[in-house]
Structure 1
Amino acid sequence: MTEGRMSLRAVIDKWVGRTATNPIRIVRHGDARSGRYVLVSLSRSATMQTIFFFRHDNGSWNVFPPETQRPAMTHLQYGLHGMR
């Protein structure tokens, strides 16, 4: 892996600390408008908790979605030819 980038398994372990008494289950995964995501479910005591992990363009996994690509315009793209 690249420096500073962890696998999804390592990121999940970092956030929730997987143990035999703390099972983790992948509930859903796929592609959304914001990119690739994984929904992880964990049972602790009587409560069920879920966490979304999002894949960023640099290959890292985070709990916040990546920045959306916004349209950009530039006057240099087409130049000044054709304008009179």
Structure 2
Amino acid sequence: MPVHLTEFSRTRRGGGRYLRVETSSGHGARVLFFFRYDDGNWCVFPPMTGYKARAADNEVKTRCR
């Protein structure tokens, strides 16, 4: 099953890199987005920045006490 890179660009907020890959079969099309993290890794979840990152960090610290 061939996979095609159909988009490579930057997010509107923060300018982070993302890419979109597609494949299709008799069951329909499938699309996945990958987001690049500051450490160079690519993940299907966008990196948290700004307020969300601080809130998540505070939540982890609270739960670990």
TM norm structure 1: 0.53
Q: Within the alignment, does 1:23 sit opposite 2:24 as a pair? A: no
> What is the CA–CA distance in structure 1 between the aligned matches of 2:5 and 2:40, rounded to whole Å?
19
Rg larger in structure: 1
State the percentage of identical aligned residues.
Answer: 38
1:45 deviates by 2.0
Gaps of 5+ in 1: 1-21, 73-84
TM norm structure 2: 0.67
Deviation readout 1:47-77 (Å, 9 max, x if unpaired): 001000000011100000001134x9xxxxx
Which amino acid is 1:24 matched to? Answer: V
The residue number in structure 2 matching 1:62 is: 43
Bigger helix fraction: 2
> What is the CA–CA distance in structure 2 between the aligned matches of 1:38 and 1:50, rounded to whole Å?
10
The residue number in structure 2 matching 1:37 is: 18
Moved over 2 A (4+): none
Gaps of 5+ in 2: 55-65
The total of aligned residue pairs comes to: 50
